[in-house]
Amino acid sequence: MSILVYIEHADGAIKKTSLEAVSFAHALAQQTGGGDVVAVGLGTIAEDQLAKAGEAGASKVLYVKDSNLDAGVIQAHADAVAQIYEKVGAETLILATSSLGSAVAARLAVRLQAGLVSNVVELPDLSSGYQVKRSIYTGKAFAVTTVDTAHKILAIKKNAIDLKTDGATASVELVSLDIAQANFATTITSTDQATGEVLLPEADIVVSGGRGLKGPENWGMIEDLAKVLGAATGCSKPVSDIGWRPHHEHVGQTGVKVAPTLYIAVGISGAIQHLAGVNSSKYIVVINKDPEAPFFKAADYGIVGDAFEVLPKLTEAIKAVI
């Protein structure tokens, strides 16, 4: 049976988390002995981006080209994906865990009478039923969930699987759907979109600063390092609360949760709520002059030193090898 993957995009570019979901679906298809991996894209997506779904492991892309779907209205997306799911005769839906993806998945679970598992971190164990390992308690523990429904929805946690990039070219098929107008009843009147060379939620590298930088006038050090690395910039909650940085840069349990390959924390002590927002990062580097800072316990690498001395030297050293 086919595996359907719901892919999200931003300004016409498919999100990396969705490509990871495609790679997960490809690995699952191989694990279960075959079956097509079909991706569904909604809205307006660039043609070269649709090809990336093939590189990630999809054999076909069903493209619902409708600008009305660009706004990401949850009800409309859920209706569209449900129609495609039934059209291809799929038994499993794969998607990325995200604000939009999670909301769409919840609605589809009810409509399709499907078992839903979120924050999935590895392929299912099929040796005894259908058991799925998921991250819980903001990454502090794991749970194994048994899914016994005919239809299954798996929401994949970022960085749970390596991104496949050597897949064959996927065929792209334009599909027209009759989406009930009632699903567009929610109207988005305006959006306030974060700007920057690299957006925080999708960044592969994040450089964040805390109160150890002593003031907003010193943030140039963070931005210089981020520019060299091609990274997004973030900050701790106290920094955004006192107005040093905008709130959309606040990383933590009550801010933006990130899961980059590399997270660099500068002058951040490591409060529990901040750790909850970054503990899915593959590698964490902490720079702090206090050797007793709690963040060091969660770090893969640590530098005990004054950020005002370490950051300029680190930036120059990276420039020299890039």
**What's this model's pTM, rounded to 2 decimal places?**
0.85
Burial of residue 58 (number of CB atoms within 10 Å: 0-12, 13-18, 19+):
buried
Band of the pLDDT at 197, cuts 50, 70, 90?
A: low
Are residues 287 and 233 part of one domain? Answer: yes
Q: What's the mean pLDDT in 111-124? A: 96
Whether pLDDT at 21 is above 90? yes
Question: The domain containing residue 231 runs over which residues?
Answer: 200-321
The answer to whether residue 195 is domain-embedded is no
Strand, coil or helix: 255: coil
Helices (H), 208-306: 220-229, 237-241, 272-278
Are both 262 and 302 inside the same structural domain?
Answer: yes
The model's pLDDT over 144-179, given as tens digits with 9 standing for 90+, comes to 999 999 999 999 998 888 899 998 888 999 999 988
On whether both 41 and 178 belong to a single domain, the answer is yes
CB contact at 8 A, 222 and 230: no
| pLDDT tens, residue by residue, 267-288 | 999 999 999 999 889 999 999 9
- Secondary structure of residue 272 in the 3-state scheme: helix
Spatial separation of the C-alpha atoms in residues 37 and 24, rounded to whole Å: 10
Residues 175 and 28 in one domain: yes
State the CATH number of the domain containing residue 100: 3.40.50.620
**149 and 216 part of one domain:** no
CATH code of the domain in which 303 resides: 3.40.50.1220
- Residue 93 belongs to some domain of the structure: yes
Same domain, 50 and 138: yes
Neighbouring-strand partners of residue 61: 39, 172
Tell whether 215 and 173 lie within a shared domain.
no
- Look at residues 128, 157, 184 and tell me which one is the last residue of a structural domain: 184
DSSP structural state of residue 170: P
- Tell me if 141 is assigned to some domain: yes
* Dist CA 105 CA 141 (whole Å): 23
Query: For the chain, what is the domain count?
Result: 2
Does 298 share its domain with 174?
no
Q: Are residues 229 and 116 in the same domain?
A: no
Bridge partners, residue 7, by sequence: 41
118/36 same-domain check: yes
What's the average model confidence in pLDDT over 83-101? 95
> Is position 193 within any domain?
no
Specify whether the CB–CB gap between 122 and 24 falls below 8 A.
Answer: no
pLDDT at position 75 over 70:
yes
Tokens of 253: 């349990």
> Are 285 and 300 contacting, i.e. CB atoms less than 8 angstroms apart?
yes
* Beta carbons of 134 and 155 less than 8 angstroms apart: no
- State whether residue 50 is helix, strand or coil: helix
158 lies in the same domain as 11: yes
List pLDDT tens digits, range 224-253: 999 999 999 999 999 999 999 999 999 999
Question: How many C-beta neighbours within 10 Å does residue 179 have?
Answer: 21
| Residue 229 near residue 318 (C-beta atoms within 8 A) | yes
- Residue 191 inside a domain? The answer is no
Is the per-residue pLDDT at 211 higher than 70? yes
Write the CA distances from 211 to 161, 254, 281, integer angstroms.
34, 18, 22
pLDDT of residue 226: 96
Name the percent of the chain lying above pLDDT 70: 98
Q: Does residue 189 belong to any structural domain of this protein?
A: no
56 Cβ partners below 8 Å, 6+ apart? 19, 20, 22, 23, 26, 163, 164, 165, 167
Residue 194 has pLDDT above 70, yes or no: no
Both 267 and 297 in one domain: the answer is: yes
Greatest pairwise CA separation for the chain in angstroms: 61
- Whether residue 159 is contained in a domain is answered as yes
